[in-house]
Amino acid sequence: MHLDMDAFFASVEQRANPALRGKPIAVIGSSGRTVVTTASYEARRFGVKTGMNKFEARRLCPDIIFVVGDNAKYVDASERVLAVLERFSPLVEPFSIDEAFVDLTGSTSLFGKVSDIAREIKRLIRDGLGLTCSVGLAPNKLLAKLASGMEKPDGLVVIKPVDVGRILEGLPVNELCGIGPATTEALKAMGIATCGPLGRADGRALRARFGVNGERLKLMGQGVDGSLVAGASGEREAKSIGHSTTLPRDVSDLNELRLVILKLSDMVAARARRYGLKGSRVSLTVRYSDFHTFSRRKSLATATFDAAIISAAATAILGDMKLEKPVRLVGVTLSELSEGGRQLGLFDDAGREALLFAMDRINDRYGDSAVTWGSLVEPDTDDEDNGVISPSWRPKGVRRVEF
DNA sequence: TCTGGGGTCCTAGGACCC
DNA sequence: TCTGGGGTCCTAGGACCC
């Protein structure tokens, strides 16, 4: 089963505030250059879509109501949804904050037919949370994901093995999860636009063009997918921790960029400590005013969760770059993660780490910037950091993040 | 007042080692 | 008398997902 919440953030806001119900609304971030994170179905009717900027959304739908997103509300709702799913199977794999796969293979002896289970889950979510969702049931994840999107909102679609061929034959390839714009174009150049022909395509030709992925593409065209629902036993470790921000205005001044990098590094480091992880690779991402985006990475001799070290590495990368245009976005990512915990390695500085954890405790208790780095305490850099969480953020599955 | 933010996975090429 | 063949590690960048 694949379950996908309907217009999740927007629906949560409409549930929380009756004045928004039945109205075209869009959940956005707080910064000036924000975009629509989720539009309610009322707004979608006007053509408002995720990723659109406010002006475009307003142009399409003059009566649209913008709501600045509230992460805590979505995290709470997401955890409640997952709790419902976990009543029916131990194998629940969060795919994003508003989607999950559930393996119901072993659930039928306890709970009956899968379609009945799906209906019960939808009922529990509706009654318990006041939210609707769309559910797909199928022999594998690829098809379940496809099915959940076929009758949105409030849908329940079953794809039986016998129907797979008929459903896929004329289906555009980009409807499958995993085939995006670039692959769609490349397939089109080979004369393949729909799944039927993809499933019958020459395996060698696909392999020549797409490498090992070519084999998978052919199988996808046939509706074959052997991947398993990860579930609790296969809980995945986080691979990277990153933050990025689009600046309120484009910036060329290096000192200004260094401050932003320190702030981002601080957020990254704090999160790493909370997860009990250290990372030994630092990446800096830069987006120019013309949207050209690139990144540079640097490996560290030892893994760290210290904002000062992460920031120093990212700043060194910045120093090596020859910036050609004003900068629109900067991002800092920590990867090559390993268990860091509070156990000290041979070369770790115990005093320093105690200080960092003490800062965390103070900030946990008194608010996020109760103690911070001196260079960040300037009148023009204390802006709130309350951008809307990404729908891809995982409440579980990777590791828990508290807000 | 055009175009967010957080991720994963894969590939390709160069450095380096034996 | 042109210049092997493995392997690993590292970096850059792209495709894709929500």
Query: 3-state DSSP call for residue A49?
Result: coil
- Residue A381 pLDDT exceeds 50: no
Asked if residue A42 lies in contact with residue A22, where contact means CB atoms within 8 angstroms, the answer is yes
A322 touches strand C (CB under 7 A): no
A240 touches strand C (CB under 7 A): no
Residue A234 banded pLDDT, cuts 50, 70, 90: low
Range in A34-38, A169-173, A336-340 with the lowest mean pLDDT:
A336-340
Q: Which nucleotide is nearest to A242 (CA to C1')?
A: B6
The predicted structure's pLDDT at residue A400: 32
Distance CA A304, CA A222 (A): 45
From the CA of A139 to the C1' of B7: give the distance in Å.
27
The predicted structure's pLDDT at residue A378: 57
Arithmetic mean of pLDDT, A161-173: 97
**Cβ-count burial of A300 within 10 angstroms (0-12 exposed, 13-18 middle, 19+ buried)?**
middle
The predicted structure's pLDDT at residue A151: 96
Arithmetic mean of pLDDT, A263-269: 96
pLDDT in tens, A315-324: 999 999 989 9
Greater pLDDT, A178 or A387: A178
Asked if residue A376 lies in contact with residue A266, where contact means CB atoms within 8 angstroms, the answer is yes
The predicted structure's pLDDT at residue A399: 34
Q: Which helix (H) or strand (E) holds A189?
A: helix A181-189
- Token pair 């405790």 in the structure block, residue: A361
User: Any alpha helices (H) in A285-384, and if so which ranges?
Assistant: 307-320, 350-366
Q: Which residue is nearest to nucleotide B6 (CA to C1')?
A: A390
Distance CA A376, CA A347 (A): 28
From the CA of A211 to the C1' of C4: give the distance in Å.
26
The predicted structure's pLDDT at residue A232: 56
- Residue A398 pLDDT exceeds 70: no
pLDDT in tens, A11-59: 999 999 999 999 999 999 988 899 999 999 999 999 999 999 999 999 9
Mode of pairing for the β-strands spanning A25-28 and A65-68: parallel
Q: Which residue is nearest to nucleotide C14 (CA to C1')?
A: A182
* Average confidence score pLDDT of chain A: 89
Nearest-CA neighbor of A242 among A275, A273, A277, A282?
A282
Task: List protein-proximal bases of chain C (any atom < 7 A from a CB).
Answer: 9-18
What is the share, in percent, of chain A residues with pLDDT greater than 90?
76
What is chain A's alpha carbon radius of gyration, rounded to the nearest angstrom? Answer: 23
CB atoms within 10 A of CB A175: 15
From the CA of A352 to the C1' of C2: give the distance in Å.
57
- pTM of the model as a whole: 0.89
A93 touches strand C (CB under 7 A): no
Q: Which nucleotide is nearest to A8 (CA to C1')?
A: C18
From the CA of A305 to the C1' of B2: give the distance in Å.
36
Amino acid of residue A269: A
The predicted structure's pLDDT at residue A401: 34
pLDDT in tens, A181-225: 999 999 999 999 999 999 999 988 998 888 878 889 999 999 999
Tell me how many degrees the CA angle A13-A16-A21 measures, rounded to the nearest 5.
Answer: 65
What is the share, in percent, of chain A residues with pLDDT greater than 70?
90
- The pair of structure tokens assigned to A381 is 């850099």
From the CA of A183 to the C1' of C15: give the distance in Å.
8
Q: Which nucleotide is nearest to A330 (CA to C1')?
A: B5
